[in-house]
């Protein structure tokens, strides 16, 4: 069941009445369901139960400390892409550091050193130059670096071009044809342990065949690497499993089973420990953004609904033309509708949540909910237009915890010097 549903005509997140939460905490407000997060994590775990695996949740999707801790307690590892994300994992659940994989095309020395000293599980190396640096830093830190090359399999995955990564025209990974020679060159350093092979082809991928294709290529590379004498123990399949942002019924249990079948098909008889890096699938539909209507206005023939949340609070529609369902917090009594653009207060025409959307009539002061905003919502917020970031709540059954307070004017100005 979806975590956000009407009860007695009022929208709730599990046991919590959103009208009351808005009154207490103000808007814009991110609200998450702890049950839904755990449920999605468990769906993933069950789908891969038949093989040794670790689910390394992609921290970038939602990096709230409370959410990282919740996932770590269920057994999650983490996929990080910066020294900042490493610090978040350390703070949320120190013991999970040993289940961290470190991805990203631009790792810096201080980040590599911090990860070496934290004894993370695996570096996903994205270039030959990075591998050389990793060897040097491993020696300097007196730590052996377990690494995988993140290969670019040249597989097309149908998604938005900004979040597709598996083609050779993208900046990500190392050409799979060049990988074998680079693994060979790593033998020169005793500080490098070629422990795995990684791949990640993009995000919000709904058709699972490209995952099979990518893993077929990775599996054949692993076979070659074993022939070359490398002790490959890990295969990292990346993240990218998509969710349904529409109003249609979506069965996440079926989707993740399809996904696991696709990976299994690509892996064939390969039995290395499987690493998975889901972000969106775990968290997108567990979260929503609650916002208040400030004004309704007409320009010519168009109607605009102006909310107190803007593109700085949820940038996905502006950046990817992403669709988010928008529903009123009071269940509409009749069938009447209006067609409007739902826009924020930011001074940009790109500051919209929906264009020409048909929705039940709303008026100033009404609350509306932007659904499926748990992934890449809060983690992509900014202070643009000097707007403080929203607060975040985690609903756990009947209790609700403030997991991030609303930013204040003091927070906003704190780093600046006059």
Nearer to ligand LLP, 217 or 316 (CB): 316
Binding of residue 378 to ligand LLP (CB under 6 A): no
Nearer to ligand LLP, 166 or 328 (CB): 166
Give least dist CB 284 to ligand LLP, A. Answer: 8
CB atoms within 10 A of CB 162: 10
Give least dist CB 150 to ligand LLP, A. Answer: 7
Strands laid side by side in the 4-7 sheet: 4-7, 10-13, 16-17
Sign (positive/negative) of CA torsion 69, 41, 77, 150? negative
Alpha-carbon torsion angle 274, 277, 281, 287, nearest 10: 140
- DSSP symbol at 14: T
Binding of residue 372 to ligand LLP (CB under 6 A): no
- Distance (Å, rounded) from C-alpha 205 to C-alpha 202? 7
Pairing relationship of beta strands 122-125 and 145-152 according to DSSP bridges: parallel
List 203, 212, 285, 291, residue binding ligand LLP (CB under 6 A) = 203
Pairing relationship of beta strands 53-58 and 273-276 according to DSSP bridges: parallel
Binding of residue 390 to ligand LLP (CB under 6 A): no
Query: DSSP E strands: which ranges in 18-164?
Result: 29-33, 53-58, 77-80, 100-102, 122-125, 145-152
DSSP bridge pairs for 94? none
List 3, 278, 374, 390, residue binding ligand LLP (CB under 6 A) = 278
Q: Which 212-251 positions form the footprint of ligand LLP (CB under 6 A)?
A: 238-241
Binding of residue 163 to ligand LLP (CB under 6 A): yes
Binding of residue 79 to ligand LLP (CB under 6 A): yes
Give least dist CB 103 to ligand LLP, A. Answer: 4
Stretch that binds ligand LLP, among 15-23, 129-137, 275-283, 348-356 (CB under 6 A): 275-283
| Binding-site positions | 240, 277-280, 316, 320, 348, 376
Active site residue 347: yes
Binding of residue 353 to ligand LLP (CB under 6 A): no
Binding of residue 317 to ligand LLP (CB under 6 A): no
C-alpha of 343 from chain center: 24
Q: Which of 13, 56, 141, 347 is catalytic?
A: 347
37 in Cβ contact with 278 (< 8 Å): no
Nearer to ligand LLP, 237 or 340 (CB): 237
- Distance (Å, rounded) from C-alpha 42 to C-alpha 36? 10
| Residue ranges in contact with ligand LLP by CB under 6 A | 58, 61, 79, 103, 163, 200, 203-204, 238-241, 277-281, 316, 320, 375-376
């Amino acid at each position: 069941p979806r975590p956000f549903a009407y009860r007695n005509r009022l929208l709730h997140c599990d046991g919590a009445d959103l009208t009351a939460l808005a009154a207490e905490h103000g808007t814009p407000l991110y609200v998450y369901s702890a049950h839904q997060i755990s449920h999605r994590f468990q769906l993933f775990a069950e789908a891969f139960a038949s093989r040794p695996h670790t689910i390394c949740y992609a921290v970038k999707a939602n990096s709230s400390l409370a959410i990282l801790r919740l996932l770590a307690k269920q057994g999650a590892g983490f996929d990080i892409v910066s020294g900042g994300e490493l610090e978040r994992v350390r703070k949320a659940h120190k013991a999970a550091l040993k289940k961290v994989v470190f991805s990203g095309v631009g790792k810096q020395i201080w980040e590599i050193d911090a990860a070496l000293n934290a004894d993370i599980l695996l570096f996903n190396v994205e270039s030959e130059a990075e591998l050389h640096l990793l060897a040097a830093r491993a020696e300097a830190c007196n730590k052996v670096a377990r690494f995988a090359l993140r290969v670019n399999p040249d597989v097309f995955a149908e998604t938005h071009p900004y979040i597709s990564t598996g083609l050779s025209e993208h900046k990500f990974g190392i050409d799979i044809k060049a990988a074998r020679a680079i693994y060979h060159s790593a033998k020169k350093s005793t500080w490098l342990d070629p422990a795995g092979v990684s791949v990640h082809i993009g995000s919000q991928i709904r058709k699972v065949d490209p995952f099979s294709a990518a893993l077929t290529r990775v599996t054949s590379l692993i076979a070659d690497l074993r022939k070359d004498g490398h002790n490959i123990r890990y295969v990292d399949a990346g993240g990218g499993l998509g969710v349904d942002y529409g109003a249609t019924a979506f069965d996440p249990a079926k989707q993740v089973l399809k996904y696991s079948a696709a990976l299994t098909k690509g892996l064939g008889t390969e039995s290395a420990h499987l690493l998975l890096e889901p972000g969106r699938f775990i968290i997108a539909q567990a979260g929503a953004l609650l916002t208040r209507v400030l004004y309704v206005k007409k320009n010519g023939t168009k109607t605009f609904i102006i909310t107190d949340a803007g593109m700085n609070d949820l940038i996905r529609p502006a950046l990817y033309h992403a669709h988010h369902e928008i529903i009123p917090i009071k269940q509409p009594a009749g069938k009447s509708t209006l067609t409007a653009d739902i826009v924020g207060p930011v001074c940009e025409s790109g500051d919209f949540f929906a264009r020409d959307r048909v929705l039940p009539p709303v008026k100033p002061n009404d609350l509306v909910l932007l659904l499926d905003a748990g992934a890449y919502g809060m983690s992509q917020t900014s202070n643009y237009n000097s707007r403080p970031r929203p607060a975040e709540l985690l609903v756990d059954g009947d209790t609700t915890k403030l997991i991030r307070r609303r930013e204040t004017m003091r927070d906003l100005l704190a780093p600046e010097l006059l």
